[in-house]
Amino acid sequence: MSAVLEKVRTQGNEARYGAIRIDDVVKIYDPEGAAVMAVDHCTLDIKAGEICMIVGPSGCGKTSLLNAIAGFHDITSGAIYMDGEMLCGPGKPKADPGADRIVVFQNGALFPWKTNLENVAFGPMMQGKLSKKEIIEKARSMMADAGLSGTEHNYPGEVSSGLRRRVEIVRALMNDPKVLLFDEPYRALDSLTRSVMHESLLDIYYKNKVTIFFITHDLEEAIFLGHKLVIMTTRPCRPKKVLEVDIPHPRDYSVLTSPRFRELLEETASVVHEEARKSFASGEKEG
């Protein structure tokens, strides 16, 4: 890994694609009936190649925002742009899902009926851009890079949950996405596995500069991984505090004990705690 770190240090941030602009987005579920407001006039700028961590209590509406970017849901008003191009906005409430923005799901969505290799090869196979042979070769080499050699012919159900998450990220990267959207992917993992996953995610990030939109409710995870930290209000969700994490990348686990990390944690913990209390008081459910 040290060679990679060195490369990152010398070359810096090289991503040119994947800047996301969320412009005054509102999402109301069931506008004619119950009219539940999930996202309230949310505006946010994410630079290309940035890791943007969205922190907020469970059920605050973060996932609605992610679904709007991915194109799973429409938005009620406002607009979302990627690299200056409108994904959704006036006249086009729902973005088209596409391989330039790939979601890594909360509970994992590797197809259990396909082997890990077939899963990784799935995107290019569907898009039909490369020949089958080229796809398999690329899939094998990307899996090898991520330390997944030897599990190609296992089914996802046969490997550990940590490995599964890694396979899922590799499956996304196979498509050269501009943005990766993470929906609390490590929530179901135990804290030890999670710490390993964090380092492996950073490792993968340093090799493939993509923009990362990462939803979590774990503040430490957010500060450890992110360039930018966005703390959301509880439902309806709106950025309450946006913060640049000035700990230099590449990072490793020693960051967790650094004084700056502690300072940032202290600075943000009370804000998050306040929102969590509000959320708890209003009795929000998961979602």
Partner 1 sequence: MEQVERLLKRTLPFQVVSPETLDGIAEISRHEVFKAGEVIYGAGQPAEEVYVLVSGRVAHRIDPDIKARVHEKELQVGDVFGWAAILEGEKVRLADVACIEAAEVLKIDGARLLELLRKDVNFGEAALKSFSQLISQQYYLPPSVSERVPTTLSKVGDTRTPASNEAEPQTASAWTLTMYRAGEWLRSPDPYLMMVGFALMLGFWYLTVEVLKLPRFEDLPGLTTVVKEWFAEDPVYGMSIYTAEYYQHIWVSIRRVAIAFLLATALGVPLGLFLGWSRSFREYVFPVFELLRPIPILAWVPLAIIMFSGSETPVIFLTFLASFFATALNTMLGVESIDESYTRAACCLGANRWQVFKEVIVPGSMPYVFTGLQISVGVAWFSLVAGEMVSGQYGLGYVINTSYTMVRYPTIIIGMVTLGIVGYTTSAMVRVAGNYMMQWRLREMALGGR
- The CB-of-148 to partner 1 minimum distance in angstroms stands at 10
Contact with partner 1 (CB under 8 A) among 74, 158, 252, 267: 158
- CB of residue 152 vs partner 1: minimum separation in angstroms? 8
Structural contact between residues 27 and 73, judged by C-beta atoms closer than 8 angstroms: yes
Q: Distance between CA 266 and CA 111 in Å, rounded?
A: 40
Q: CB of residue 128 vs partner 1: minimum separation in angstroms?
A: 9
Size of the site for partner 1 (CB under 8 A): 39
Nearer to partner 1, 266 or 286 (CB): 286
Q: How far apart are CB 186 and partner 1 at their closest, in Å? A: 16
- Please report the DSSP string for 138-175 in residue order: HHHHHHHHTT-TT-TTS-GGGS-HHHHHHHHHHHHHTT
In whole angstroms, the minimum distance from the beta carbon of 27 to partner 1 comes to: 17
Indicate the residue among 59 and 156 with the shorter CB distance to partner 1: 156
Burial 202-211 (b: 16+ CB within 10 A, else e): bbbbbebbbb
DSSP characters for 44-63? EEE-TT-EEEEE--TTSSHH
Sort strands 51-55 and 36-46 into parallel, antiparallel or unpaired: unpaired
Return the biggest CA–CA distance within the chain: 57
Alpha-carbon torsion 105, 111, 112, 117, what sign? negative
The footprint of partner 1 on residues 159-218 (CB under 8 A) is: 171-172, 175
Q: How far apart are CA 287 and CA 283, in angstroms?
A: 12
Q: Is 111 in the site for partner 1 (CB under 8 A)?
A: yes
Binding mask 136-155 for partner 1 (x = CB under 8 A): xx------x--x-xxx-x-x
- Kindly list the residues in this chain that would bind partner 1 in the complex (CB under 8 A): 70-72, 97-99, 101-103, 105-109, 111-115, 122-123, 126-127, 132-133, 136-137, 144, 147, 149-151, 153, 155, 157-158, 171-172, 175
